[in-house]
Amino acid sequence: MAVVFQKPKSLTDDILTYCPGCTHGIIHRLVAEAIDDLGVQDKTIGVAPVGCAVFAYNFFAVDMMQAAHGRAPAVATGIKRVHPDNVVFTYQGDGDLASIGMAEIMHAAGRGEKITTIFVNNAIYGMTGGQMAPTTLIGQVTTTSPYGRKEELCGKPIRMSELLAQMDGSTYVARVSVHDPKHVLDAKKAIRKAFETQLSGAGFSMVELLSTCPTNWGMTPSESLKWVASDMIPYYPLGVYKDSAKGAA
Amino acid sequence: MAKLLMKGNEAIAEAAIRAGCRYFFGYPITPQNHIPEYMSKRMPQVGGTFLQAESEVSAINMVYGASGAGARVMTSSSGPGISLKQEGISYLVGAQLPCVIVNIMRGGPGLGSIQPSQGDYYQATRGGGHGDYRIPVFAPSSVGEAVTLTQKAFDIADKYRSPVIVLGDGMIGQMMEPVDLPDSTEINSVDKPWAAVGWDGARPRAIINSLYIDPSVLEQHNIMLQEKFAQIESAEIDYGAELVDDADLVIVAYGTVARIARSAIRMARAEGIKAGMIRPVTLWPFPSDPIAKAAETTKAFLTVEMSAGQMIDDVRLAVAGRKPVLFYGRTGGMVPAVRDVLHQIRIAAGAVDPRNPIEEAI
């Protein structure tokens, strides 16, 4: 009998620690599929963040390092400078990347560091229990914005793809979503493209994935997927923000 | 080989390169800027990488990445920058990653001054960051010793899979002395099967990590780390003892201050005061045993530091109340003069009244 569907080689057999309805699982699978498809499992080194994906070092079947909060791009820089022929990626959430790790991600992009960042944006701190992130939408209720995020207090959410696309060192920057099958397929293509960009020896590449947090959003998994489409995408438009092979979008 | 006249900071950098260090990540801060400047010139000549990081925080995390990837790697800074690196240093210890961190101390607290100080003794010898750990700390008192200790630091770092701190002061970093530079060692001569280099499936997957979410597992990890620290304490203590056997007064001093104290001791001896010195070369592990042994024969100890009194705690612990432990220190970037130390020796020896002014003749 022909096998038509199976777990990617680049995922381990460990049971994921993510909540029901969270899209980290889908994104892990897409990253692993890209590594498998490009045949680079044996030369990929991943960097796990602080946050819900902290245990990513257990899930990706590649050599892994765990980084301090927000520091994954600096750690990846150290790895890539030692092993320029390896594929190095960071896997980071929005608190990790867009808040405490803002300096590290901006300068990694600025240097044109030949790494790939998988940026999972679910507009909230998940692991710590649902606090406001720099990406939290205006009016969104979190445990540290109990009256809803107010612009006069916290400013507007930060759009990282738009910001990073401005850096000359960025080669490929795209924002995708995984809230329905069509968008999952688009996300898969973007992740593959980001890794191909790194393999080509070009500069920094990042894929931002709009993701869900049913637990901390206080929604069911299906409500969460709908909220991505109805509330997140209007503020975080999908698209390719930088593709140096084609010129800026 | 002929001796070279080199600045301490540059000698440390060249010693690192000759120890096989090919990766340096740093950030500018006085009084250690000659190290990154020298590295930026030399690394490309030897096929290495110098990268100026966007911050001290990033620099130490680049060190984490490069070390986890199996490389000999170094960073350097001074007090305010070392404070910023403490997060990364704690992670390096937790993940058992070897590297060398140079701290050319300046006056503090805060932005302080850019003049020599030893005010980071507590920070260096008590771990410095969060969690429960120690790091070997080497304190050179000459440019030549800075070279040998920098080289040894890489070997100790690899031997124990630990960061090692080379703790100099602004004087050691910036003064010039003749040095013998050793020949270069082979690059990547240390086998690091734990390093993340890409998984071939033939060995266990490399996971560089300091997270152990189950407290019982973390406790086991901590017990293992503490056993390692105990091994370091039993095997790696280094110190110098000068004129201690017949001494009525034993001075304890390290780094630049030890040289000043040496001159003062020579003058005191000429006056008939039997002074000697124990000079810690490793600040952690601290040479407690020779100090404890000296406590059996000497009458008193005098700790001299460029701080308000930090190493004196370790001296007191070693002496354990058996003899008086006196202190003399300057802070803020002020360096004690030989005559000041001699005056303190005379006071300690009961040779002069402490109310008398320091004699100007010296």
Task: Report the distance separating Cα B324 and Cα A192, nearest Å.
Answer: 70
Indicate which CATH number applies to the domain containing B262.
3.40.50.920
Percent of chain B at pLDDT exceeding 70: 96
Q: Is A54 on the interface with B (CB under 8 A)?
A: yes
Is residue B49 a part of any domain in this protein? yes
From chain B, pick out residues whose CB is under 8 angstroms from the CB of A10.
none
Task: Name the fold adopted by A24-243.
Answer: Rossmann fold (3.40.50)
State the pLDDT at residue B189: 81
* For chain A, domain boundaries: 24-243
pLDDT bracket for residue B362 (50, 70, 90): very low
* Residue B163 contacts residue B195 (beta carbons within 8 Å): no
For residue B319, what are its two tokens? Answer: 């002496």
For B238-275, b/e burial (b = at least 16 CB within 10 A) is: bbbbbbbeebebbbbbbbbbbbbbbebbebbeeeebbb
Task: Report the distance separating Cα B275 and Cα B298, nearest Å.
Answer: 9
From chain A, pick out residues whose CB is under 8 angstroms from the CB of B54.
103-104, 106-107, 110
From chain B, pick out residues whose CB is under 8 angstroms from the CB of A43.
198
Residues B48 and B172 in one domain: yes
Is residue B289 a part of any domain in this protein? yes
Residues B177 and B58 in one domain: yes
Task: Report the distance separating Cα B105 and Cα B120, nearest Å.
Answer: 7
Residues B227 and B288 in one domain: no
Pick from A43, A76, A106: CB nearest B65: A76
From residue A211, give the alpha-carbon distance in Å to each of A25, A60, A139, A149, B237: 10, 19, 18, 19, 53
What is the tally of structural domains in chain B?
2
Residues B277 and B188 in one domain: no
Residues B75 and B57 in one domain: yes
Candidates B152, B120, B138, B129; CA nearest to B64 is B129
Q: Across residues B3-12, what is the average pLDDT?
A: 96
Pick from A66, A78, A106: CB nearest B66: A78
For residue B178, what are its two tokens? Answer: 């003749």
Cis peptide before B44, with omega less than 30 degrees from 0? no
Is residue B354 a part of any domain in this protein? no
pLDDT bracket for residue B358 (50, 70, 90): low
Is residue B38 a part of any domain in this protein? yes
Instruction: Report the chain A residue with the minimal C-alpha distance to residue B198.
Output: A43
Tell me which H or E stretch contains B52: strand B49-52
Q: Which residues, 6+ apart, have CB-to-CB distance to A51 below 8 Å? A: A69, A92, A93, A95, A96, A125, A126, A127
Q: Which residues, 6+ apart, have CB-to-CB distance to B345 below 8 Å? A: B249, B251, B264, B265, B268, B273, B275, B302, B351
From chain A, pick out residues whose CB is under 8 angstroms from the CB of B88.
68, 71
Q: Which of A45, A60, A82, A99 has the most B C-beta neighbours within 10 Å, making it the best mutation to test the interface with B?
A: A82
For the cut 80, the answer to whether the pLDDT of residue B312 exceeds it is yes
From residue B72, give the alpha-carbon distance in Å to each of B26, B154, B232: 15, 7, 20
For residue A176, what are its two tokens? Answer: 């995708």
Q: Kindly report, residue by residue over A90-148, the tens digit of the pLDDT.
A: 999 999 999 999 999 999 999 999 999 999 999 999 999 999 999 999 999 999 999 99
Residues B218 and B265 in one domain: no
State the pLDDT at residue A245: 80
State the pLDDT at residue B185: 84
CA atoms lying within 13 Å on the CB side of residue A98: 27
Residues B279 and B328 in one domain: yes
Indicate which CATH number applies to the domain containing B162.
3.40.50.970
* Residue B10 contacts residue B150 (beta carbons within 8 Å): no
Model pTM score = 0.96
Is residue B355 a part of any domain in this protein? no
Residues B155 and B71 in one domain: yes
For the cut 80, the answer to whether the pLDDT of residue B243 exceeds it is yes
Pick from B64, B91, B200: CB nearest A78: B64
The last residue of a domain, from among B235, B253, B284: B235
Candidates B52, B45, B98, B109; CA nearest to B76 is B52
Pick from A54, A55, A65: CB nearest B196: A65
Residues B104 and B18 in one domain: yes
Residue B222, helix vs strand vs coil: helix
Q: What angle do CA B122, B126, B130 make, to 5 degrees?
A: 115
Which ipTM score applies to this complex? 0.96
Q: Across residues B275-294, what is the average pLDDT?
A: 98
Secondary structure letter of residue B358 according to DSSP? P
Which residue range(s) make up the domain with B259?
240-348
The last residue of a domain, from among B185, B202, B235: B235
Q: Is A107 on the interface with B (CB under 8 A)?
A: yes
pLDDT bracket for residue B329 (50, 70, 90): very high
Residues B207 and B301 in one domain: no
The last residue of a domain, from among B235, B260, B284: B235
Q: Kindly report, residue by residue over B172-229, the tens digit of the pLDDT.
A: 999 999 999 998 988 878 999 999 999 999 999 999 999 999 999 999 999 999 999 9
State the pLDDT at residue B360: 47
Q: Which residues, 6+ apart, have CB-to-CB distance to A245 below 8 Å? A: A171, A172, A197, A202
Q: Kindly report, residue by residue over A5-40, the tens digit of the pLDDT.
A: 899 999 999 999 999 999 999 999 999 999 999 999
Q: Kindly report, residue by residue over B335-352, the tens digit of the pLDDT.
A: 999 999 999 999 998 866
